[in-house]
Structure 1
């Protein structure tokens, strides 16, 4: 009985999707329109990524780096051995994201 209800529900969903979907046929130069939109929007995308996304990632990585450095220091005080792996990885990521806006757009070809 439960399988019958599920099959009926699936058939109804497919019927509704079929009724409300409309085929779209593109006429003209679709690729040219997409390329034109990309060239006009790429400058805005670069600005947003450089001024919002990279600084947000930098802030998060800096907080994690200093928090991990603090916990590594307290582990050193407790066990006498300093673990460098996690702070070193976070520092490398932080340096990478701090310097990324200078070269990332040339690498991507934009």
Structure 2
């Protein structure tokens, strides 16, 4: 028995079997009866202000900071490449700047679109 467990394939099969058994034991069937779309719309109306608040005050600023760091880092790298090779690559900084501009003004109009 000990030599069988030393085989890597057997260990993987045993682990997958255990995971599959755990999945089957913890699954629960759910049935949707009635009007599901009205329930979703009602839940959205109840949570809409909280979701907007979190997205406007947390998600967009985090995205803005990440894009700003990448933009300035890529701009600096492009400048150093320009000093080394004499050719400035505008493509990546321009794309990052466009994405940064888009994410900065997105909270003004994104909720009207949705």
Cα RMSD of the aligned pairs, angstroms, is: 2.6
Which of 73, 81, 101 aligns to 1:75? It is 81
Q: Take 2:20 and 2:78, find their aligned partners in 1: how far apart are those partners?
A: 56
| 1:41 lines up with 2:53 in the alignment | no
3-state SS of 1:51 partner: helix
Which of 45, 50, 61 aligns to 1:55? It is 61
Deviations 1:21-75 (A, max 9, x none): 4444445544322221111111111111011100111001111111111111111
Q: Take 2:22 and 2:69, find their aligned partners in 1: how far apart are those partners?
A: 49
- Specify which structure has the bigger relative contact order, considering alpha-carbon pairs within 8 angstroms and separated by 6 or more residues: 1
TM-score, with structure 2 as normaliser: 0.74
How many residues end up aligned between the 2 structures? 106
Residues 6-45 of structure 1: pairs in structure 2 closer than 5 A = 6=13, 10=17, 17-18=23-24, 21-45=27-51
After superposition, the Cα gap between the structure-2 partners of 1:39 and 1:70, relative to the gap in structure 1 and judged at 3 Å, is: same
